[in-house]
Structure 1
């Protein structure tokens, strides 16, 4: 029957594509029809998804234009549709990713978007209701990925071993990053042996760098997901986050520098800790932009470059910056 044919057609498309989420029950009009005929056809229409927009096709069902109900009701009844329709129609193809469909609907503030095949034949329509569902799904997926988890956990319920297997990969990445951080500290053991007070501020340097990097990464990942950030605006976003990281680093670096000075009664220690904090937080902010961008460039979901990856990377760079700065000022610290 008709329903089974529609279901079979939808199943032939990828579930995350425009073809997989579209409705095939769509009302369309032929371009040679007159306004009066179009209104009569509209009055007789049943079981259509929506008629806020009236899509116009040619004799081969190619999408050639779009009309609004207002246009249809405010022109003479003998006017042909091809004379009043808008020919520049925002459309997507059946293989367009559902996230891109959602971006287009949000960007152009429209209630629906037509779906065509490779030959521009009208195949269906995606409404704003469908788009809201997509946005909810994509946001949930991004949140799981940013936490180093997976939505599959919801399917496993209380099956602890299966859930642990899903979470372990990113935790192992963090573990490996921690080993590298420990190795770097061991490489600077000569500096540490002479200035033991440096140990006091290792958690602060690495922790603040990870926090700043996580903030920047979250903003960029969400920007990519909503379409507010693209490769064209990325340069401005990068320098904005760099400035923000520097400003926050200056405030935090000045504060922790004073703490180090009065705690250990060594102004040069305060200078080293403060400079390292400013540099580490600035680098962390830039890392938070570059990491998701790199993943997006190579075709990997940038959400996985958020908290787990960025925090691990910033731990490593933070240690290098901190102990590198301390080694440079070693003679003054003694």
Structure 2
């Protein structure tokens, strides 16, 4: 399954090059290759493997059990996992695969693995130290790069998550609406053909609000793209005045929209009655994948924090603004 997905990814890249597709066209092509792959993250950005998540710890970075000890003699950092719960969980399969995950295909096309360090030496000059450096004398030195610029990537990721939510919900709503238009139940009162399921008020009361929600989330996603572009331009000019607003909006909307989208996809599945259980409907895999994406950053890392934490950030926007500024 993993190898087949990589072959599809490679073919998609070949088509992009041969057809000279634009960035938007390439993204849509990848979107319709309906399997997730370990390379997906690099379609939007390139980052090294993130190994902050441990078997026994999640977003509490300060509570991680992994140790990093600096050795002045060798000029190395010595990384070690002293316990079972300190082993790195969910990175790309590096040492061992963590096993099958929820769903038939879904994230099982991703090589999520476990990694553990046994006193591994990493040269000090090979650490990622653009913002903060550690000297040979074990002193921490801050660079002149404004630390607030680091938040730009976080805003980008959040607005992307919201945009993806509108796409996922649109697919689910489209499937449920088409099924309701094709399915017929019970003879009409005038003796004509059976009534289309979508003509029943009870079905309309469930589907139509979801259709409207899909459109609304699309518009919100476009607005967040504009907000990200505006904030990025301001940050580059050392103008941080709008960042607290962007931080609060993206945090709150990500939490709200991902939760409601996950529930809406399940509602669409139920609106298709028994057909919603068929893998050929597309809904079971969409349900599993989206729920997984809501909680994992493409199967490699947490979406940072739980919904509760994000909502608390919105409610504490004033204190956050004071900290950031």
TM-score (normalizing by structure 1): 0.25
More helix by share: 1
Larger Rg over CA atoms: 1
TM-score (normalizing by structure 2): 0.25
More strand by share: 2
